A = this chain, B = another copy of it.
Amino acid sequence: MRDVAIIGASMTEFGTRSEWIRELLVKAAQACLEDADVSPSQIEHCYVSNMSSGEFEGMTGIPNALAHDLNCMPAYTQRVDQTSASGGAGIYAAWQSIASGTSDLTLLVGGEKMTHRTTPETTDIIASITHPVEYKHGVTLPSFAGLTARCYLEKYDAPRESLADVAVKNHANGVYNPHAQFQKEVDKETVLSSPIIADPLRLYDFCPITDGSAALLFCPRELAAEYTDDFVSVAGIAGATDTHVVHQRDDPTTMGGVVESGEKAYAMSGYTPADIDVAELHDMFTILEFLQSEGLGFFEPGTAWSATQDGVTAIDGDLPINTSGGLKSKGHPLGASGVAQAYEIYQQLLGEADTQQVAADVGLACNVGGFGNCVTTTILEADQ
């Protein structure tokens, strides 16, 4: 198995975009190739992380469209879909293509175009992720989040207001991210007075609907220096699943896929949770940041809320989480999110994170599909 490096990364501005998915993919791809000073003709494999271009825009075959638009034919292309964890799954696919020796240069582009559809249409498309019986009984992803949040708060005797700390922190980080959908601070009072969506979760506990794309360029570690002096390495990566029927899980406050993929990724990398200097977690709902940071071993079960309250996960804390603003503030274009998480870690490890820079040699990204139905965890390290 070959060691794998990431030699280029990019993302578009997230938000409401006028481009369709094809244009979004091309923009991120071109910026990524420019970052690495690589021409399209050098690409051997090209993966596209996208959940639902067919449902959102009536367009499939977008990997081929990208290969055509970039002019990287005859590079092999393929779409990677793992619902909202498509980006992390794309990293896993691209990594395997290099690790196996199949490709010496692999481009991954993640993207989604969503905002042109009405909210009910978008809700229907996203709800198709979940078990149809649960959905038809009204148990949507936001409902699960509300139910789980209540379980967490009661189980650990955590104050309801603690959820708001995640939103406040991630918005504070997003202010400084020029790619973020919301570049504005929110205070705790605003979060706690926003409309209830799924009790106890309020409007500001949820990520927005977003358009955008992001890209990464992979090559064998041993060839990375031929392209650039600024690269990071994939230290560990793993994916795992949990039940598709969420109500069959023993304990909703434990995300089995997060635990499993984290343990495997740590084992592969040789790192432990204590070695992680910065992390991007899948905060589609504020409660998920607590569950993931506990599932990944950053905090003991039931203590993520107090650690957050104490500022441990803030930009100047011991373990900064979602320095990019997270999905909460940066936005969540389904297929792009996992790729954009790795983009943030890449920037941090290369010391290119500007105002959001933290001291980091090892970073972790956790991308979640469904309500933890599938998870991919990636650990990146600065070049030693």
Contact = CB atoms under 8 A, between A and B. Distances in A.
Interface stretch (A164-172, A236-244, A272-280, A352-360): A236-244
Contacts of A369: 61, 64
A64 B370 contact: yes
Contacts of A81: 60, 78-79, 81
A105 to B, nearest CB: 15
How large, as a class, is the contact surface on chain A?
35 or more
A335 B80 CA distance: 14
A240 B76 contact: yes
Interface string A45-89: 000000110110011110111011100011111111111000001
B64 A373 contact: yes
Nearest to A45: B239
A82 B59 contact: no
A82 B82 contact: no
Interface stretch (A7-15, A95-103, A222-230, A302-310): A95-103
Contacts of A97: 96
A77 B1 contact: no
A244 B100 contact: no
Copies of this chain assembled into the complex: 2
A78 B92 contact: yes
A210 B45 CA distance: 30
A78 B74 contact: no
Interface of A: 1, 51-52, 54-55, 58-61, 63-65, 67-69, 73-83, 89, 92-93, 96-97, 99-102, 124-125, 128-132, 238-245, 256-257, 260-261, 369-370, 373-374, 376
9 contacts: A55-B55, A61-B369, A65-B131, A67-B241, A74-B240, A74-B260, A76-B239, A79-B80, A100-B100
Q: What are the 4 tightest A-B residue pairs by CB atom distance, in nearest-first order?
A: A100-B100, A68-B244, A76-B239, A79-B81
